[in-house]
Structure 1
Amino acid sequence: MRPLHMLTMLFGIASLTSGACSNERDSEAPPDARAQTGAQAPLAGWILSGPAQASYSLSLDRDVFVSGGASGRLEHVGGTAEGAGIVMQSIPADAYRNRRVRFSASVRTLGVAGWAGLYMKVERPEARDPFDNMQDRPLGGTREWERHEVVLDVPEDARSIQFGLVQDGAGISWIDDAKLEVVGDDVPTTDLDRRPAAPVDADLEAAPDAGAWTLTGVAKDDYRMERSTEAKHGGRSSLVLKSAAVTPRGYAAVEQGFRADAWRKKRVRFSAWLRGEAVDREGGLSVMVLGPDAPPMSPGLAAAGNGRSGTFDWERYDVVLDVPAEADTIVVGIGMSSTGALFFDDLAVEEVGLDVPVSNIDMRPSEIVNPSLDEVDAAEASRPKGWFVSGGARLHYRGVIDTKVKNEGRSSVRFEPAVEEPQGYGTLMQRFKAHDYRGKRMRLTAYTKGKGVDRRGDLWLRVQARESPGDGAGLGGAACQLSGDYDWKPCVMVFDVPQRGDAIDVGVGTTGHGTIWLDGIKLEEVGLDVPVTTGKTPPRSLLNGSFDLDPEAPKGWFLSGAGYADFVVSVDGGAAKLQAKGSATPGGYGTVMQSVQATDYIGKRLRMKARVRGDGIDSGDLWVRVQSAVSPGDGPGLGGGACALSGDFDWQPCEVVFDVPERASSIQIGAGLRGSGRGTLRLDDVVLEEVDTRVDITGVTRDGSGPENLGFD
């Protein structure tokens, strides 16, 4: 099935910005050293990735292979993370653009409870990623060595190619004798585009595991999708979306996509019967029309929703849209950001006359609303007019008017957690049309004040095209990083608005504790002589390696990793201190780190040195990694190295000497904990310095421009 697009602009607009600068955060994920948890040897050139990577191990297996003396072994080792693990590589797409590429390999499975398959994805900056993971022809159970392949076209704008092996569920799978090659157009592609011509199971009568409907959304783990034979409008059953958490973090949807071919250039009505039980925030029927190259999280060519909150009996809800000639896919379903239960039954799709009014009225303002933060929302006086809370954990945060703490005018807005332990990114934002700003250079100035901001915080803006993904980089933008305690200070961002610009998003957000105040926003046109502010640009040199800029927070450093939300970092006795929160078992790796621009270090040999101390550490490391512009966030990059840490030890030095190749874009340094997450890791006196080329390299240098170790030897 073609990857579906979340109906986030409707009843879950908050999930549209699950990370205002999420591309940057992804590129700063922890190193793949954490992946090597199995008893076998590490697997050179390959990394462990995937949504549940903490539940898998990746290793070189010298006992099971087809040829060459070894294979790659992907094993489910248990853990709290559910889903798939992927053994993969990522390479630049330069040599393969405008060509058809085949990835083939021999695969063996043992007791795979779910499924396994070869995996390939072509990453594009602003369009749908060609993708195949063999989920429609799965390799489950126990199977001997078999040869399989996936074939994809690599478009002109492709950025990178990812390929490897995916496994979802308990068991072991092996991969050997892999090959990545260009093939002719006579070889058919296997792109997973299996969209039906019309909605499947529209009457909601199929078996629960039929697979027509999919639970999705940034907070899908906080909800359940079930069939109900008791509450139904017609037939034998209905479908219900219900909250499974006391406070869901954000939006979830039950949806499916089908081809738009039969509906192009028509006005179409989508109707469904809905029933609600204690839906505390609005939820309902949602429809989105997508173009042929719409990326995930795209707002689509047209979109609308219709629903309500509360407890109500079966009622019919309609959405009417014009389907453009360029439409490719229609996604329909129900969604909510709420506690309670929303029941769904008897979906119908039909053409209607032009006398039937459409539902998708563009309500976006033409300019930023309430930039002074002095106006209150008409429906709730504690909220600022024109602003809303968004992000993957939107329900864990709130934005309220503050008349006591302000930089100017009558009030500011205070953005803070609404729960004791927020679990993800939240942002207070607004979106307005870009039409009046196209072709202009603009400057946005705003003032912020912070107290106890202990993780990532930022004031950000982004220019979006019509179908830019909601959590991507869009057409450009900028951000000011915020942390710790500080008094009112300005943030100035200068940006260009291309002719393709459709909307401008601006917001302030965080992933952790603390309070950020926002006030006095000004947007104005400037001349082309005013330099553009880049996005989240790393510093040119290491910041605060001695951790003496702030007695409580490690300024310049931040938490990252798959399990970052389960860790806390502070400054104790002039050193950074990393440990798990309370008695919780972390859901993955956690690291305190920072990223430095590689510009001034290209072609040089560097030494990263630091001192570390451990108390009861199960497993950890001090690491450095060189990244290219297309290196995956959780991969080995272009090289680097690490010092493995465990047990109890007093202050001891760690040094890694490595080269910085021409393709380098950043250098990342960090110290992290994995495994059970037990213990406390302290870090101090971090230095990054150039050394003579006669100093021996102790780390690893990778070319990174093409496939490596395809024979798993």
Structure 2
Amino acid sequence: MAQMSILEVLKNTLRYTTTTTFLLLDEQRQRLLVLTLREQSSPTMTQAATTRGSVPASPLTNDFLANVLHALGGALEEVAIDTLFGERLGAQLHLRDQRGLHMVNASLKDGLLLAQREQSRISVSEDVLVRRSVTLAHYGKTEAEQFAEIVRRAQQDPTSLRPPVQEVLNLDFSHGLRGWHFLRGASYGSYELDPHTSLMGRKSLAITLHQPFTHGSSGMLHYSGPLAEHYRGQRVRLSADVKVEQMHQPELTLYLSWPTDNISTLTGRHANASCLTHSQIVTHAGENSWARHEMVIHVPQQAQSFSFDVGTKEQGKFWLDGIELGVVDSSVALTGTLLRPPSPQPLNLDFSEGLEYWEKERGSLRHYEIAVDAITPPCATLKSIKEAPIGSCLLQQRLISEDYQGKRVRLTARLKARDVATHGSFFIGSFPGLREGHVEEIITGTTSWVPLTLDWQVPVQSMGMLLFGVTLQGPGQIWLKDVHLQTVGES
């Protein structure tokens, strides 16, 4: 374990989030470790604390722990930081009383705050330092310059104080479940490595979902990590093999994220932006019970981290194996990029880039297909692929509405329909599906190419989003081309 000292503790409170950043310096004054703690408080607690002033009405957790320790005649000698809880960092407290030395595991937050309060020694494992510390020499010529730059970065964006990453870690579960997080409680499901059910001849990750998930996001499994330098500016493919039992195939999503110059009103830190793509299932040459998912996306130069999510709301069991991330050339088609936050202007309205920047929703049962017809000029198509399809499908773009609020916009396009038995719709609005939140043109039956025009008065308060696109419910097929969006006047 390497002995560390506290170089600086930075605290920032914005609205209901308090962020405390510890800067730990090693004895040789060469390596620095940044550890960030965040604490959420309710509006009621925040208002009460403001009314009382800066002195809390009751002891904080670390004050309580320290008082109990002193009352028992003990002392905190050292706080050792290591990976104690899966991939998460934890603290081991070295406590001494009349009976000797005792080791007690604690959260990283409690350990750091106690060490600061009691001015005890702090040590960090070499494994943690190798993976998370940075070298001071990279931040200036003199020690004063280095410390000033470190503090500046820690105040603006602590994530910038991370070491460069050479390669993605643990997509093959060679390090157990490091980096993998199951996002639901034990009553909803469990996960474990399975050495018996495997496509690649090694352990797969088995997920058992005990009951349907009827509220909240469908996301139930998450992996994240920093992005290696050599992926930036390249087209990459993340592929994975999934086997299901008594459920449909889940949806896989790849995210690439980076900090922006915008300050979050919730955290006071630089807000993140991201691009993402959802998986497409391709034919697998091996065992038929395994389905191959592929996600292909261009990595922006500013991307710093990636994450990989698996989502479903169903009950059942599935296995995850054969996960690979690699660079591919431009001949490998992108699988549809979405931006978060969305663009303020429409993108790829002529479908020349496939379905890039268009959102697709076709339901977990996959009774619909959304694609681009390779004609000149190209057009998008939505069609049912089952005789009696369940649910509906949607193709839409989502824009930030700031530039359009209070203005009248006009959406035009040409559509064609074949055997639309129930209905389809061409729409624009803030809340498609609510009568007062959008305008639409209903599509039924069979038609040749017809021009459609929709005018929409964008509300001054439209929840920040403008959406437009086409839907299909029931049997049939719809084509879409020549899409244009323009402002036609103020309110």
Q: Which has the larger Rg?
A: 2
TM over 0.5: no
Bigger helix fraction: 2
Shorter chain as denominator, the TM-score bin is 0.3 to 0.5
State TM-score, norm by structure 1. 0.32
Higher relative contact order (CA 8 A, sep 6+): 1
In the superposition, the TM-score normalised over structure 2's length comes to 0.44
